[in-house]
Amino acid sequence: MAAAAESATVPIVRPKESTATKTLRVLGKAPLQLLLVLIALLWLVPTIGIFLTSLIAPEDYTNGGWWQIFSKPSVATWENYDAIFSNETITKSLWTTALIAIGGTVLPIIVAALAGYAFAWLEFPGRDWLFIAVIALLVVPLQMALIPIFKVYDTLHLYDTIAGLILFHTAFGLPFAIFLLRNFFIGIPKDILESARIDGASEIRIFVRLILPLGLPAIAALAIFQFLWTWNDLLVALVFARDVQPITVAIFSQLRQFGANIELIAPATFISLAIPLCVFFAFQRYFVQGLLAGSVK
Amino acid sequence: MSGASITAEPPPRAAPEAKEPGRWRKYALAAGFLAPAAVFLTVWVIYPTIYTIVQSFYAGSGFGDFAGFDNYRTLFTTDIFQTAIKNNFIWVAVVPALVTAIGLVFAVLIERISWSVAFKTAVFMPMAISAFAAGITWRIMYEQDPDQGAVNAGIRSVKDTFTPAGVLSSASPSTDELSGSPTTGYTLADSVEPGEVASLGLTRIPPDEVPEGAEQAVKPEPLQGGIDGVVWRDFKPGGGKAGEVEQDELGLPGVTVELKDASGMKVASTTTEANGTFSFEDLEDGDYRVGIGAATFAKPFGGVSWLGERLITPSIIIAYIWIWAGFAMVVIAAGLAAMPRDVLEAARTDGATEWQVFRRVTIPLLAPVLAVVFITMLINVLKVFDIVISIAPGSVQDDASVLAVSMWRTSFGGTNNFGLGSAVAVFIFVLVIPILLLNVRRFRREI
């Protein structure tokens, strides 16, 4: 706050600047630049920290923190990762996580795109009220569903299955997905749709050939959200699965002996966060767009 | 209401070929498009919500044992739940406001730098990471031992720059002649005159804390017109006499000895030699006091217990802010970018300072965006779970507990008390209902 006030005395736009005032302006910004560099570095430290921790063999870890790598690069080793990748529980759980995340991304998008299209472009009684109902469901905490669905899954043999987890993620991803896609679809120019209808295209055809391709930016944003959400889930898997463990649950079961299992916990955690990070960096633009569409709208 | 209805619904196909489908045909088509979503929302969200509300009025599992408001009474009167409610209240009171404020500051500041994209990426990145992985990451950061935990190591390195640890952090006097405390330093009880020898014996110094290069202690000869003396480790394996310099007792080099006059004013200070001796020369006649300053006994930084029961909630909140500040920043920055520049320019032309522009124009114009960020954070905070159970070690899990954690514990943590667990879930739900109504009102106006 203090920095904001301090730098606020420097005018941003000025029609003409002499070299002297320009130099002054740049120099005046130096403390702000320095502060922001410091903050950015501070924000990166934890992620760097867990990566370096994952490289240190347990016997070296007891000698000091992860920053010992900077003074003694020889302590870095891939051994922990070798151990992780030959650990069947971990590799299996990574595979499970991927299946849940893919299923939990594709299914809700299909279901939500259909509903979003209906809410945006089909006419039926009570449309607005139903959409408001969807908006109301947006904030229902999933804690409200854990106990009854636990019982339902028990009866239907969906407990401890990948399918059960995917279905749950789909249901709780739907309100946001429908909301986002409906708002995007409604922005598609009406003329395009009308002319397709006049040409005799069926609604299904319009949906597949027109809406889906035109809605791709929103669908991409949604896909990234859903993927991150399902990949990163802990609670749902903790409740509805025992042996079918995604990576978060597999790590969670090791937390009791945090210090003793650090050589397993650190690399497994890093792998579990590296994949969402890659997705994030690859599709950052869509991610931010989706975020803005979902919250500012 | 069971899974039977999942398969009972026909998949949405049936595309009408007619160019002008009748009214009912149109509705049937819409129903087809909506059916899958309707099934999912009914079976997995709406039906469970009703079930959980009803279950919260029954004891145990199922609807055999009606309990009225007993579960809610337990919820508000049991220690463990009260802690959870209190903690959740702290979360609600602190986090949404703080995240919004930090996001606003960042968003405003990065408008003034050329590398704002890089800054945004760095701060926004934790959003992609699971709260669970972030929790583990921060648990490593928070380890108490400054040799292991980065947070404490950072604090220690800053602290040591300004107040370094003393040479002898655990020493204490060997006789009553030296009085004082580690925080004030130790001074000889009797005053000393020039020509006398001061003996400052210290003990309780572990062998590994004896300064390097220490030699056999020597009691120096009296000094004409000055005061000299020795600081030594008054300890001899197998006994020895307290207050006397003996064979095999080491001098303490590098200790700062202070000389004060009768009124307590410091007149000189010096550092001891390898054999522990020191001297103050050319002194005027009079009474002096000889002592060792507090800096010598300053304790090294032992580390803040971030994961202890007192600090655990603030520690988790810091980690949570690390995750969400980027979200607030990006949304607010987008709001800033969309702001009408001419309004700001007009204010500046009218002679408003940047602070006035920020306070009187920017913030009011941004209010809707700030509200969205605040409300989003409010919902998130009411449901916070993963990060709490991943950062808090087992011993302090009860101290760190929040509603979502206690709901999970009660329902699935072994006791399987579904009635009580449902009551906790309903309580969370009741807390988000105002937000639900707010959303609905906002969109009813929009549609």
pLDDT of residue A44: 93
Do B272 and B334 fall into the same domain?
no
Instruction: Note the pLDDT of residue A102.
Output: 96
| Residues A66 and A52 sit within 8 Å (Cβ to Cβ) | yes
Both B312 and B359 in one domain: the answer is: yes
Contact B391/B317 with Cβ under 8 angstroms?
no
> Is residue B369 one of the residues assigned to a domain?
yes
CB contact under 8 A, A65 and B143: yes
What is the distance between the alpha carbons of residues B311 and B400, in angstroms, rounded to a whole number? 9
- What span, in angstroms and rounded, lies between the C-alpha atoms of A213 and A219? 9
Shared-domain flag, residues B248 and B223: yes
Q: How far apart are CA B441 and CA B447, in angstroms?
A: 10
* pLDDT in the model for residue B359: 87
* CATH label of the domain that carries residue B126: 1.10.3720.10
Give burial (CB, 10 Å; 0-12/13-18/19+) of A59. exposed
Neighbours of B98 (CB within 10 A): 18
Highest mean pLDDT among A56-70, A265-279, B174-188: A265-279
Instruction: Give counts: helices (H), strands (E), chain B.
Output: 16, 9
Q: Which of B252, B276, B297 represents a domain boundary (last residue)?
A: B297
Residue B383 lies in a domain: yes
Q: Is A38 helix (H, G, I), strand (E, B) or coil?
A: helix
Q: Which residues of chain A does B4 touch, with a Cβ-Cβ cutoff of 8 Å?
A: none
- Chain B, nearest residue to A271 by Cα: B133
Q: Give the ranges where B230-282 is alpha helix by DSSP (H).
A: none
User: A76 or A235, which is more confident?
Assistant: A235
The alpha carbon torsion through A265, A271, A274, A275 (nearest 10 deg) reads -130
Same domain, B377 and B442: yes
pLDDT for A11 equals: 47
pLDDT, mean of residues A238-243: 92
Per-residue model confidence (pLDDT) at position B14: 45
B144 lies in the same domain as B231 = no
Chain B interface disruption, residue of A14, A35, A131, A143, most B CBs within 10 A: A143
Task: Flag whether residue A265 sits within 8 Å of chain B, measured between CB atoms.
Answer: yes
Q: Round to whole Å and give the CA distance between A48 and A265.
A: 15
Contacts of the segment B343-346: beta carbons below 8 A, 24+ positions apart: B345/A13
- Of the candidates B37, B40, B421, the beta carbon closest to that of A147 is on B421
User: Hey, what are A36's tokens?
Assistant: 């922001």
Residues pairing with B229 in the sheet: B198, B278
- Would residue B246 count as lying in a domain? yes
Q: Are residues B432 and B323 in the same domain?
A: yes
Closest CA to A254 of A268, A242, A243: A268
Q: Would you call A73 an interface residue with chain B, using a CB distance cutoff of 8 Å?
A: no
Q: Which residue of B has its CA nearest to A263?
A: B140
Q: C-alpha distances in angstroms, A111 versus A177, B2, B38?
A: 9, 20, 9
Encoded tokens for B24: 């009912």
Q: Are residues B288 and B310 in the same domain?
A: no
* CA dist., res. A17 & res. B259, Å (int): 61
Report the residue of A144, A155, A183, A194 to disrupt the B interface, i.e. the one with the largest count of B CBs within 10 Å.
A144
Q: Is A27 on the interface with B (CB under 8 A)?
A: no
Indicate the helix (H) or strand (E) that contains B320. helix B312-337
C-alpha A4, offset from chain centre: 31
What pLDDT is recorded for position B23? 81
Residue B393 lies in a domain: yes
Q: What is the pLDDT of residue B318?
A: 95
Domain count, chain B: 3
Enumerate the β-bridge partners of residue B58: B66
For residue B187, the surrounding DSSP H or E stretch is strand B185-188
Rounded to 5°, the CA angle B204-B210-B211 comes to 145
Q: Do residues B96 and B24 both lie within one domain? A: no
Contact B140 A66 (CB under 8 A): yes
Q: Residue A7: its pLDDT value, please?
A: 41
**Closest CA in chain B for residue A46:** B137
CA distances from B62 to A248, B52, B67, B422 (A): 30, 10, 12, 11
Q: Using only the alpha carbons of chain A, give its radius of gyration.
A: 25
Same domain, B290 and B355: no
Q: Which of B256, B263, B270 is nearest to B286 (CA)?
A: B263
Residues A94 and A105: their CA atoms lie apart, in Å, by 16
Q: CA of B34, closest CA in chain A: separation in Å?
A: 5
Q: What Rg value do the Cα atoms of chain B yield, rounded? A: 35
Q: What is the mean pLDDT of each run of 10 residues along chain B (447 residues)?
A: 36 46 82 95 95 93 87 93 95 96 93 88 90 92 81 83 74 81 82 86 81 85 87 80 82 86 83 88 85 79 82 94 93 88 84 85 90 92 93 89 94 88 95 90 78
| B421 found inside a domain | no
Calculate how close chain B gets to A6, using CA atoms only, in Å. Answer: 9
What pLDDT shows up at residue B12? Answer: 45
Binary contact (A114, B33; C-beta < 8 A):
yes
pLDDT for the residue numbered A6: 40
Q: Which of A29, A47, A139 has the CB atom closest to B435's CB atom?
A: A139
SS3 content of chain A, % helix, strand, coil (to 5): 75, 0, 20
B10 & B127 share domain: no
Q: How much is the pLDDT for A8? A: 43
pLDDT at B199: 86
Strand order in the sheet with B172-173: B172-173, B197-203, B227-233, B277-280
pLDDT of residue B169: 75
Quick one: CATH architecture of A82-295?
Answer: Orthogonal Bundle (1.10)
Residue ranges of chain A assigned to CATH 1.10.3720.10: 82-295
Answer yes or no: is B423 within a domain.
no
Is the ipTM higher than 0.95? The answer is no
Closest alpha carbon within chain B to A254: B390
How far does the CA of residue A120 sit from the closest CA of chain B (Å)? Answer: 11
Question: What CATH number does the domain containing B182 carry?
Answer: 2.60.40
SS3 of residue B271 by DSSP: strand
- Spell A243-266 as b/e; 16+ CB within 10 A means b: ebbbbbbbbbebbeebeebbbbbb
Query: Between residues B236 and A126, which one has the greater pLDDT?
Result: A126
B29 in a domain, yes or no? yes
pLDDT category of residue A15 using cuts at 50, 70 and 90:
low
Of A45, A124, A280, the CB nearest to B128: A280
Domain shared by B313 and B441, yes or no: yes
In a shared domain, residues B246 and B183: yes
Mean pLDDT of A177-200: 89
Q: Measured between CA atoms, how close is B110 to chain A, in angstroms?
A: 8
Q: What's the pLDDT score for residue B60?
A: 83
- Does residue B437 fall inside a structural domain? yes
At residue A53, does pLDDT exceed 60? Answer: yes
Structural domain including B142 reads: 70-154+306-416+428-446
pLDDT band at A62 (very low <50, low <70, confident <90, very high): confident
